[in-house]
Amino acid sequence: MVLFAILIALLFYLFKVILNDDPAGGGSSGPLFGWGGGSSADEGQGGSSGGAPSEGIELQDPGYPSYYDPALEARYEAFAAARGDLTEDEVYWMVGCDLDKDPYTDTQPVPDPESYLMLVNKHYYLPEDFYPSDMVTVGATQMREEAAGNLNDMIDAAAVEGLKLWAQSGFRSYGLQVDLYNKYAASDGSEAADTYSARAGYSEHQTGLTVDLNTITDAFGDTAEGQWVKEHAHEYGFIIRYTEENTDVTLYKYEPWHIRYIGIEAATRMHDEGIASFEEYWVKYVK
């Protein structure tokens, strides 16, 4: 009888453990994105420190976000010291995508080249032989099928409002980018060329998810078409990849004509949350 009671108690205990285990496993990612935007990080810093507010980041702060990586602590510290203008949150996500390193230095291959959410920039590159598998013709150029379909929807929607959008330059191969960059570097020098042209392998145009619209001039941003794109691109899964706001992150000049497909859900989230760069989105929601 006693043995039986012990057995029942044991079973009950095991059952409880199993039941508890599940929510604990599911919840282990913690309070997601508890930091919210950059401004709340500012408030936290000002309010909590009391004694010496400017002494840098409290890395052991229990409120750290899900994209905080303890393995990067030394780099967080160094980057925060070098860039006193950044909030803690900015330090975390910027180091999270290697923005503490110099461009084209110690770079890494894109981990998932076929993903609509892949990040290509001056720190992440595509292999020389990367060629998207599902390309279709759109306008006078080529893009991946889903991106092209959404682009056509966007062009149609703009047309309803009397605006004319067209696809100027979509996919560009590694070899074509070699020629382009070399041409620009020869005429303007590589330092200047780097502000508006990607080196081969580092170009978003090789992804098949990017397209240059209409005319490649700053003035495009001020046209009715450019303004409409700014307002509506996210509804079709596109973002303006290089804006005036994110130049410090992307290290490219403002390019109102250059849009990148990331899918409607991601583009809408970036729009609604006011996330200024795909780099920030990538660290916080993709990586």
Provide the binding-site residues for Zn ion, judged by CB under 5 A: 212, 258
In angstroms, give the least distance from the CB of 80 to Zn ion.
33
In angstroms, give the least distance from the CB of 212 to Zn ion.
4
DSSP letters along 7-53, please? HHHHHHHHHHHHHHHHHHHHGGG-STTTT-SHHHHHHHHHHH-TT-T
If you count them, how many residues does the chain have? 287
In angstroms, give the least distance from the CB of 16 to Zn ion.
58
Would you give the end-to-end CA distance of the chain in angstroms? 56
Quote the Cα angle for 216-281-220, to 5°.
15
Quote the Cα angle for 242-247-249, to 5°.
100
In angstroms, give the least distance from the CB of 162 to Zn ion.
25
In angstroms, give the least distance from the CB of 261 to Zn ion.
12
Select 122 or 284, whichever has its Cβ closest to Zn ion.
Answer: 122
Select 98 or 212, whichever has its Cβ closest to Zn ion.
Answer: 212
DSSP letters along 56-97, please? ---TT-TT--TT--GGGHHHHHHHHHH-TTS-HHHHHHHHHT
Select 80 or 154, whichever has its Cβ closest to Zn ion.
Answer: 154
Select 59 or 176, whichever has its Cβ closest to Zn ion.
Answer: 176
Residue nearest to Zn ion (CB): 258
Select 234 or 258, whichever has its Cβ closest to Zn ion.
Answer: 258
